């Protein structure tokens, strides 16, 4: 029983949802829901201003920590409001496991979620990463 509890705690500690937010401004990271890829987002600029366009660089890593050559799609919504962005971002591969999405814009302050999907030759994975847009 004690061993089972320890295992459950370990699983919770490893899941992307329970991962604490990265302490570096403009960086979001976590493990996908399937546990296949690790996702790292770098916002450009690090603190997007309300109503202004920004870009996101997405880096995908496999279980060994190596860049994963996956096709990346990224979108953002406000899940509690049931709406997405008013812009349609473009996505461009800029290196192995690295994609740049441009033309994102958060038109409302509050809790946004980046939805990222990565499809590689051997694996597929998705993640939701929360971002709090300040009212400025």
Residues that bind Cu ion (CB under 5 A): 78, 81, 108
For Cu ion, the closer of residues 70 and 78 by Cβ is 78
Q: How far is the CB of 38 from Cu ion (least distance, A)?
A: 29
Question: Is-contact 85 92, C-beta < 8 A?
Answer: no
Q: How far is the CB of 88 from Cu ion (least distance, A)?
A: 17
User: Which residue is closest to Cu ion by CB?
Assistant: 81
For Cu ion, the closer of residues 28 and 78 by Cβ is 78
For Cu ion, the closer of residues 49 and 81 by Cβ is 81
Using only C-alpha atoms, the chain has a radius of gyration, in whole angstroms, of 16
d(CA 42, CA 55): 9
For Cu ion, the closer of residues 50 and 108 by Cβ is 108
Closest CA to 34 of 130, 128, 127, 129: 127
């Amino acid at each position: 029983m004690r061993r089972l509890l320890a295992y459950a705690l370990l699983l919770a500690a490893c899941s992307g949802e329970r991962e604490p937010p990265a302490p570096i401004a403009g960086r979001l990271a976590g493990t996908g829901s399937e546990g296949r890829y690790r996702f790292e987002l770098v916002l450009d600029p690090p603190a997007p201003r309300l109503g202004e366009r920004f870009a996101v660089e997405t880096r995908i890593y496999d279980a060994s920590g190596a860049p994963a050559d996956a096709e990346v799609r990224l979108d953002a919504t406000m899940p509690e409001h049931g709406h997405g962005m008013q812009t349609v971002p473009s996505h461009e591969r800029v290196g192995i496991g690295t994609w740049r999405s441009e033309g994102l814009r958060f038109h409302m302050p509050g809790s946004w979620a980046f939805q990222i999907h990565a499809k590689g030759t051997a694996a597929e994975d998705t993640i939701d990463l929360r971002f709090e847009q300040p009212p400025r």
